Amino acid sequence: MVTEYVRMSEDEIDQEAIRRAGKILREGGLVAFPTETVYGLGGDALQPESSRRIYAAKGRPSDNPLIVHICRLSDLPAIVDEIPPQAQALAERFWPGPLTMIFHRSSLVPTETTGGLDTVAVRFPSNRIAMALIDAAGGYVAAPSANRSGRPSPTLARHCREDLDGRVEMIIDGGQVGIGLESTIIDLTGDEPTILRPGFITRPMLEQVLGEVQVDSTIFTADSHQAPKAPGMKYRHYAPRGELVICEGNRDDVISYINREAAARGLLGHRTGVICTDETRGAYRADVVRSTGSREDELAAARELFRILRDMDSEGVEFIYSESFEEGALGQAVMNRLMKAAGHRVADVSGPRT
């Protein structure tokens, strides 16, 4: 298959290309497109065969359910069996935007799309290219992140090209995404609202609307015996090819630890990389040093993380050392992705060394 590339911006939507993309989706084809979080790999959510094709293109296990994207609140009732008042309140506050809610599904949604579950994840993105595409496709677009399974989610169209060229009919280039981490997922089907994946919409923001909100305990553990409630969270994710270690401790200890480790690897002929911030980048000695931006910029690490992980791959880096990014509103979401990328390898480097 030859993949067609089109480019547009939210301010200047190419209506003709959107019509063609919509037709591709309605005929069962696949289109990668920008959202405000990460690029999505879209197929018609109501056609079982489209969902099968998405799994095949991603190389993704088919028990990992897809998110159904809508572009109007009035399209929600058809795909869910009821809309609880809590969901109504969250939709009013956060949609369109980077929040995914889990509902009991209606029979309109094929089990291929929901990975066999009787629940369905729904998101109403705010990116205008995404909205135009969903509308042109008939209203319901299933879209996982547009990466091959296991790789970092795409934040640029060229990441989609790296992973999906020749596997999808079209890739829409809408520039770099704004947020850079996938949507927050909240499950409203249990006794208590529970966050299954942290993101730009944080727990305090959700609690302002709902009162107390739980967090799925598997979000930060490496315990493989406990199954996460979002099936996709159990898979190895975001992983660069090199071995990644997160280094925690005070700033000077982290810098000297990383420089020492990188020097030792370098002597053995390995390529080394560092993920840091503007405040520290000048202090590191490694083959590839990448800053996520200033620590003052709360959104920077989220926006740049996946791109930097991919850059480490294209630079052939074998050992990657990362600073920790716990602070700030998005700290939880960033650390959740970084911990997965690192396979939970953390070096605590603070305190006296003997």
Q: Tell me: does residue 155 bind Mg ion (CB under 5 A).
A: no
Binding part of the chain for Mg ion, among 94-102, 138-146, 189-197, 223-231 by CB under 5 A, reads 138-146
Q: Which does 114 bind (CB under 5 to 8 A by kind): Mg ion, ligand TXA, none?
A: ligand TXA
Q: Which does 310 bind (CB under 5 to 8 A by kind): Mg ion, ligand TXA, none?
A: none
Q: Tell me: does residue 233 bind ligand TXA (CB under 6 A).
A: yes
Q: Tell me: does residue 145 bind Mg ion (CB under 5 A).
A: yes
Total binding residues toward ligand TXA, as defined by CB under 6 A? 29
Q: Tell me: does residue 231 bind ligand TXA (CB under 6 A).
A: yes
Smaller CB distance to ligand TXA: residue 123 or 161?
Answer: 123
Q: Tell me: does residue 67 bind ligand TXA (CB under 6 A).
A: yes
Q: Which does 25 bind (CB under 5 to 8 A by kind): ligand TXA, Mg ion, none?
A: none
Total binding residues toward Mg ion, as defined by CB under 5 A? 1
Q: Tell me: does residue 102 bind ligand TXA (CB under 6 A).
A: yes
Smaller CB distance to ligand TXA: residue 117 or 347?
Answer: 117
Residue 102 CB partners (closer than 8 Å, separation 6+): 119, 120, 121, 122, 185, 186, 187, 188, 189, 196
The number of CA neighbours under 13 Å toward the Cβ of 335 is 18
Q: Tell me: does residue 336 bind Mg ion (CB under 5 A).
A: no
Residue nearest to Mg ion (CB): 145
Positions in the binding site for Mg ion (CB under 5 A): 145
Positions in the binding site for ligand TXA (CB under 6 A): 35, 37-38, 40, 64-67, 100, 102, 114, 117, 119-121, 123, 125, 143-145, 182-183, 185, 196, 229-233
